[in-house]
Amino acid sequence: MDEKVKANMLHWDDMVEPHVRSEFYDVEGFKKGRNTLDKITLEGVGDVKGKTLLHLQCHFGLDTLSFARLGATVTGIDFSPKAIKYARALAAELGIPATFVRSDVYDLPGQLSGQFDIVFTSQGVLCWLPDLKRWAQVIAHFLKPGGFFFILESHPVAHIFDNDNPKDLIIRYSYFLTEPMRFEGETSYAVSHIETQNPVTYEWMHPFSEIVNSLVSAGLIVEHIREYPFIFDKRFSFLEKSQDGFWRLPDGREDVPLTFTLRAVKPL
């Protein structure tokens, strides 16, 4: 495993327990029947009853298990051993049939067999991947002919702004940055402080063209792309949470894309 990816894995290992306890994830609410999938994802993926679904970068499995509750036969993968351990324990506790595999995305073809009707991923996943061409090849490898891939993700434009600016969107990073960005801290989107011995992480910038072209070069046909002026976490301190659970710019601003969805099919 790449050393930067390994650093990220160790950091995500440290985040599992604080995330499980956090209000953000509301695990107790999930145990009582809460579905964690947002309206946009439910509409984009559609009816999953009787279908097989592979969830890449599933963290500790709440979305994966939500799809299982909707009738899908699910497999979730993540590179964090602690995340997969908890996902398996939660599935067993709730009696939800699910398979969880500990694997880096790129290593998955050597860890898992079979093909799926749906490959799914969402919310803060692409920045942890150094190579989108290999990522797209893995997606194509696991899709059945006629199956589709769906992603809901932060828009690449949202990654160029300074997260620490308290008042407005200020450009800090190049949209076309090719080198990984190094960060060091003990906070996360879900909790204000995490005790960690692995505070260093690395993130990669991926322009929209790279995302789309990677999927196309892997042989997938893009069915649709949609862009939205809101995001799924409080990326910037001045964002305001709306009734649908998404975070929006203040004063009704809708002039910057912050989230996108993409659906692509594998030809028959």
pLDDT tens, position by position, 21-72:
999 999 999 999 999 999 999 999 999 999 999 999 999 999 999 999 999 9
pLDDT tens per residue across span 72-82 = 999 999 999 99
Do the bridges between strand 99-102 and strand 116-122 make them parallel or antiparallel, or are there none, so unpaired?
unpaired
- The pTM for the full model equals 0.96
**HEC secondary structure over 23-54:** CCCCHHHHHCCCCCCCHHHHHHHCCCCCCEEE
Say if CB 50 and CB 92 are below 8 A apart: no
In the chain, the domains with their CATH numbers are 3-265 (3.40.50.150)
Percent helix / strand / coil, the chain, rounded to 5: 35, 25, 40
Residue type, 102: R
CA 143 remoteness from chain centre: 18
User: Sorting pLDDT into bands at 50, 70 and 90, what band is 192?
Assistant: confident
200-240 residue pLDDT tens: 999 999 999 999 999 999 999 999 999 999 999 999 999 99
